[in-house]
Amino acid sequence: MSPRYRFDRMEIAGSLGDMGTLLPIAIGMILINGLSPTGMFFSIGIFYILSGMYYGITVPVQPMKVIGAYAIATAMTPSQVLASSALMGLFLLIIGGTNAITLIGKYTPKPVVRGVQISTGTLLMAQGVKFMIGSSKFQMARQMAEPYLTIQHIGPMPVGIVIGIVGGVLTLLLLENRKFPAGLVVILSGIFMGLVLGTHEGFDKLNIGIYFPKFLPFGLPTGADFTFAFFAMALPQLPMTIGNAVIANADLSHEYFGKDSQKVTYRSVTISMALANLLSFVVGGMPLCHGAGGLAAHYRFGARTAGSNLMVGILFLALAFFFGIHALSVVYLLPMAILGVL
């Protein structure tokens, strides 16, 4: 069996491999939907750490993309988003607790699973290109391709496209390099660019201290919130979660890690996500899952053990505990195009 934990450069690089999916939706749901940055990053960090400790291998943590995209596009209230977290947590707890998910997985054809993996990968690639050219919903709302950089063009070229091309070439050149891991080089280059050329939005309000997530920061959602969330978000999200975050994720984990992934069962993954969403509901975070695309990203950039989960989990907990509601000012150091590359 492989070691459960490693903390080398490849694990660090791999731990950051899925930031391109996680951070844009997290930022959007904080800015547009008004979710709590402290609760958001706390729930993500805890989910990463506990998942890694339980499974002993690299385990992805992603936003539920159907809910995230709809919530951002329609500017839903925090209570409606949190109602969807609670509902997804309850649905998954029932499906996992009764072991119905094992029956569903058993009779789901492999071509369907592969189709989910391919479609998810294609959607993520398309989203990455949008971040580079500045056409994502978030960038269009800010009317800038790189809202947190002081320059928008390098010569006649939009700066995002230049960053995207350079970052993409670096990634391809260093993808198999263990001395200079691609993910780590790209992330550090992006942070350096943000420090030198960034607008440093919110830096004047940074107050490093000790912050804790609040219990039900927006109060309990109303019956109307739960009804709306049930039909508009939870029902459309459930098939995607079962297909991608349970079946495709578990199958891909077995393909990558073999016997080391014996704890990654349809039932355990479903219950894991159920508990994470109930936690997210309580602290004001967003709906979370174990997406197969996230596992592929972590693995491709070098993550092989639960050490990657511990490192990225501690990073998110540090953002929550030390920066609180101002954590986004630190996240803004990463150009949008860098997130697109990842």
Q: 264: closest CA among 277, 251, 278? A: 251
> Under a CB-based contact definition with an 8 Å cutoff, are residues 299 and 14 in contact?
yes
Whether the pLDDT of residue 335 is over 80: the answer is: yes
Res 323: pLDDT: 93
Mean pLDDT of 105-134: 76
Tell me how far CA of residue 124 lies from CA of 20, 130, 291, 292, 297, in angstroms: 9, 10, 11, 11, 10
Say if residue 292's pLDDT is above 70.
yes
Q: How confident is the model at residue 154 (pLDDT cuts 50, 70, 90)?
A: confident
The pLDDT confidence band at residue 215, using thresholds 50, 70 and 90, is: very high
Identify the pLDDT of residue 116. Answer: 65
Dihedral sign for Cα 132, 134, 137, 142, please: positive
Domain boundaries, the chain: 9-77+110-216+284-341
- Lowest average pLDDT, out of 28-42, 199-213, 269-283, goes to 199-213
Cβ within 8 Å of residue 38, ≥6 positions away: 211, 212, 213, 214, 283, 284, 320, 324, 325, 327
| Rounded-to-integer distance, Cα 178 and Cα 280, Å | 35
pLDDT band at 117 (very low <50, low <70, confident <90, very high): low
Most confident of 25-39, 131-145, 263-277: 263-277
Top pLDDT among 59 and 130 is at 59
* Residue 264 pLDDT exceeds 70: yes
Residue 32 — left, alpha, or beta (φ > 0 → left; ψ -120 to 50 → alpha)? Answer: alpha
Q: What is the pTM of this model?
A: 0.89
Residue 296 backbone dihedrals phi, psi, to 5 degrees: -60, -40
Q: For residues 51 and 56, what is the distance between their CA atoms, to the nearest angstrom?
A: 8
Residue 144's contacts (CB-CB under 8 Å, 6 or more residues apart) are 134, 152
Tell me how far apart the alpha carbons of residues 301 and 183 are, in angstroms, rounded to a whole number.
Answer: 6
pLDDT at 120: 65
Alpha carbon of residue 121 to chain centroid: 14
The candidate with the shortest Cα–Cα distance to 303, out of 3, 55, 13, 2, is 13
pLDDT digit string (tens) for 123-137? 767 777 888 888 777
The tokens for 68 are 């995230």
Q: What does the pLDDT average to over 20-32?
A: 86
The position carrying tokens 């967003």 is 286
Give the per-residue pLDDT at 296.
Answer: 92
For residue 49, give Cα distances in angstroms to 17, 59, 85, 227. Answer: 16, 9, 20, 33
- What is the rounded average pLDDT of the residues 149-170? 85
Which residue type occupies 229?
A: A
DSSP 176-195: T-SSS-HHHHHHHHHHHHHH
